[in-house]
Chains A and B, each alone.
Chain A
Amino acid sequence: MESVDLIYKGIFILVIFGITLLIATYSTYFERKIAAFIQDRVGPNRAGPFGLLQPLADAGKLFFKEEFIPAKANKALFIIGPGIAMLVATMSSAVIPFGDMLIVGGREIWLQAIDVNIGVLYVFGIVSLGVYGLMIGGWASNNKFSLLGAIRAASQNISYELAMGLSLIAVLMMTGSLSLREIAEQQQGFNWNIWYQPLGFIIFLVCAFAETNRTPFDLPESEAELIGGYHTEYGSMKLGMYLFAEYINIFVVSAVMSTLYFGAYNFPFMENLRSAISDPVLANNVVTLVGVAVMFAKIFAFIFFFMWVRWTLPRFRYDQLMKLGWQILIPLAILNMVLTGGAILLKDSLF
């Protein structure tokens, strides 16, 4: 690889990192605004115009609060816990194709940080590591309620990971590739996977809610009726890191869902737009840039959906949650796999 490419990749990774943090920051603002809208309130409107500086004010407040470490807590792990949560959350956006290829000065620039041929497995591996931040933090607090919260979180994440992986397999069977870019390329135009995999998408969506600990599956926190969960003993920015990691996870899972099921950067009438512009380089760049905008529009739509559900549905009881995961979602995912396999075989023998 040339050094120019390396520099470009480095800059691109930094930009993606910055965008991830920015979107997570403003997710907290929009969460509060949407909550206010749904509950017919005004929401934050003091800091800056329309309260737009509210996330900065929140962060400032969290930074200046007292750093508190409980006596007899495992100090090193207590500090590492939120760090792991944050690290794992920011890792998976590296393989997501945010756009197709730009041509600048005769040089091809792919709008994806790294293209590995195991992209889906990479994302899945990172998701399965997400549980460590919570478990280590909950255990290191040396508090039985924290430990119970951590165990709640871990068992929920493990249970829903299975159904998530099984629903993914159907998509992989259709596309025949583990690379997220290839999956995105195969959904050219309006040929999105959602039309072929509606059941798989619903299973994936439910599991995504459970994996990011969002309502109706926010049992790991459930601040209203149980003790706070794995972060009971946390305060100041360490608590902030845990909460922030949750918003980053929402962004990442929205991006993954848009890529796998909603055609990533593809949009209807893409080819018409490409052929409408005579200069091929310009046409390619225009289509790519519109594609990036479409990708982010899809991501924002999913983030809005997450918030909408949070302020609409009440949460599950824990045994109902486990029952949904193990007795409904996993059999449904296996059924989806069998149906997809049958459909692929039928298509091969008929056409």
Chain B
Amino acid sequence: MENVFYFLASLTLLCALMVVLSKNPVHSIIFLIITFFTISAHYILLNAQFLAAVNIIVYAGAIMVLFLFVIMFLSVGKNDHDPKASAVTRITGTIAGGLLFIVMFAALKDAHVGTYDAENFNSQIGMVENLGKVLFTKYLLPFELASVLFLVAMVGAVMLGKKETGERHF
């Protein structure tokens, strides 16, 4: 099992790196999709099948399709176009990356791997039934608030996309 984890983890990191390193934005998106798949595989290793499926449906199935949509529209016809980055961009990029590295280092310096109680560990905790029970009892208020947030976002999108009076699309 450990070997599977190491294989998956290295695959995830490799794909995530390729998202950043790819010259072509469409390739970046495809690597991001593969990254979501490997993350779902991690969820399955943790016996959280519901999260794995929902991760695929929501991220790989819906959000990335919209990403692909936008990128395809924007970058059509200039596939091999690679503008040279200016000196200022490079310097700021290096500084920002270095700062992020310092923050990560500082955060991980004192971190230690948490232990778990193998005796009392409930392997069924990630199943749909248990997840649903926890969401609708213990975390009911945050859950409802999150759904209200989604509703507000949806109404906002409809407001922005609504036809003005007298405007015609067809």
Chain A residue with minimal CB distance to B73? A151
Cα of A142 to Cα of B72 in the assembled complex, Å: 10
Which residues, 47 to 79 on B, are CB-close (under 8 Å) to A? Answer: 49-50, 53-54, 56-57, 60-62, 65-66, 68-69, 72-73, 76, 79
Please tell me if the beta carbons of B72 and A118 are within 8 angstroms of each other in the complex: no
A319 contact set on B, CB distance < 8 A = 170
B99 contact set on A, CB distance < 8 A = none
From the candidates B30, B49, B57, B79, name the one contacting A142 in the complex (CB within 8 A).
B79
Q: Is B15 at the interface (CB under 8 A from chain A)?
A: no
Please tell me if the beta carbons of A121 and B53 are within 8 angstroms of each other in the complex: yes
B69 contact set on A, CB distance < 8 A = 135, 151, 154-155
From the candidates B33, B50, B53, B73, name the one contacting A132 in the complex (CB within 8 A).
B33
Q: Is A39 at the interface (CB under 8 A from chain B)?
A: no
Please tell me if the beta carbons of A128 and B79 are within 8 angstroms of each other in the complex: no
What does the 1/0 interface line of B63-103 toward A look like (CB < 8 Å)? 00110110011001001000000000000000000000000
A151 contact set on B, CB distance < 8 A = 69, 72-73
Please tell me if the beta carbons of B76 and A144 are within 8 angstroms of each other in the complex: yes
Chain A residue with minimal CB distance to B66? A158
Task: Say whether, besides A74-B79, A117-B49, A142-B79, A131 and B128 are in contact (CB < 8 Å).
Answer: no
From the candidates B33, B65, B128, name the one contacting A118 in the complex (CB within 8 A).
B128
Q: Is A147 at the interface (CB under 8 A from chain B)?
A: yes
Cα of A132 to Cα of B152 in the assembled complex, Å: 29
Please tell me if the beta carbons of B72 and A178 are within 8 angstroms of each other in the complex: no
Write the nearest CB–CB distance from A79 to chain B, whole angstroms. 14
A144 contact set on B, CB distance < 8 A = 76
From the candidates B33, B73, B128, name the one contacting A178 in the complex (CB within 8 A).
B128
Task: Say whether, besides A77-B26, A128-B57, A132-B33, A116 and B68 are in contact (CB < 8 Å).
Answer: no
Please tell me if the beta carbons of B65 and A131 are within 8 angstroms of each other in the complex: yes
From the candidates A121, A132, A150, name the one contacting B54 in the complex (CB within 8 A).
A121
Write the nearest CB–CB distance from B136 to chain A, whole angstroms. 14
Cα of A124 to Cα of B61 in the assembled complex, Å: 9
Please tell me if the beta carbons of B49 and A154 are within 8 angstroms of each other in the complex: no
Q: Is B155 at the interface (CB under 8 A from chain A)?
A: no
Q: Is B13 at the interface (CB under 8 A from chain A)?
A: no
Which residues, 310 to 341 on A, are CB-close (under 8 Å) to B? Answer: 319
Please tell me if the beta carbons of B49 and A135 are within 8 angstroms of each other in the complex: no
Chain B residue with minimal CB distance to A127? B61
Q: Is B127 at the interface (CB under 8 A from chain A)?
A: yes
Cα of A70 to Cα of B39 in the assembled complex, Å: 35
Please tell me if the beta carbons of B50 and A121 are within 8 angstroms of each other in the complex: yes
A121 contact set on B, CB distance < 8 A = 50, 53-54, 57
Please tell me if the beta carbons of B56 and A125 are within 8 angstroms of each other in the complex: yes
Which residues, 143 to 197 on A, are CB-close (under 8 Å) to B? Answer: 144, 147, 150-151, 154-155, 158, 161, 178
Please tell me if the beta carbons of A125 and B61 are within 8 angstroms of each other in the complex: yes
Write the nearest CB–CB distance from A198 to chain B, whole angstroms. 26
Write the nearest CB–CB distance from A88 to chain B, whole angstroms. 11
From the candidates A116, A136, A158, name the one contacting B30 in the complex (CB within 8 A).
A136
Task: Say whether, besides A77-B26, A319-B170, A129 and B60 are in contact (CB < 8 Å).
Answer: yes
B60 contact set on A, CB distance < 8 A = 125, 128-129
From the candidates A72, A118, A136, name the one contacting B50 in the complex (CB within 8 A).
A118
Q: Is A244 at the interface (CB under 8 A from chain B)?
A: no
Write the nearest CB–CB distance from A207 to chain B, whole angstroms. 15
Please tell me if the beta carbons of B128 and A129 are within 8 angstroms of each other in the complex: no
B73 contact set on A, CB distance < 8 A = 151
Q: Is A12 at the interface (CB under 8 A from chain B)?
A: no
Please tell me if the beta carbons of A135 and B57 are within 8 angstroms of each other in the complex: no
Cα of A129 to Cα of B65 in the assembled complex, Å: 9
Task: Say whether, besides A125-B56, A128-B57, A139 and B50 are in contact (CB < 8 Å).
Answer: no
Measuring CB to CB, which residues of chain B are less than 8 angstroms from any residue of chain A? 24, 26, 30, 33, 49-50, 53-54, 56-57, 60-62, 65-66, 68-69, 72-73, 76, 79, 127-128, 170
Task: For the A-B complex with A117-B128, A118-B128 known, give 18 more contacts whose Cβ atoms are closer than 8 Å.
Answer: A74-B79, A118-B49, A124-B57, A128-B56, A128-B60, A128-B62, A129-B56, A131-B61, A131-B65, A132-B33, A132-B65, A135-B68, A136-B26, A136-B30, A147-B76, A151-B73, A154-B68, A158-B65
22 of the cross-chain contacts (CB-CB < 8 Å) are: A72-B79, A77-B26, A77-B30, A117-B127, A117-B128, A118-B49, A118-B128, A121-B50, A121-B54, A125-B60, A125-B61, A128-B57, A128-B61, A129-B61, A132-B33, A144-B76, A151-B69, A158-B62, A158-B65, A158-B66, A161-B61, A161-B62
3 smallest beta-carbon distances between A and B, as pairs: A128-B61, A121-B53, A125-B56
Measuring CB to CB, which residues of chain A are less than 8 angstroms from any residue of chain B? 72, 74, 77, 116-118, 121-122, 124-125, 128-129, 131-132, 135-136, 139, 142, 144, 147, 150-151, 154-155, 158, 161, 178, 319
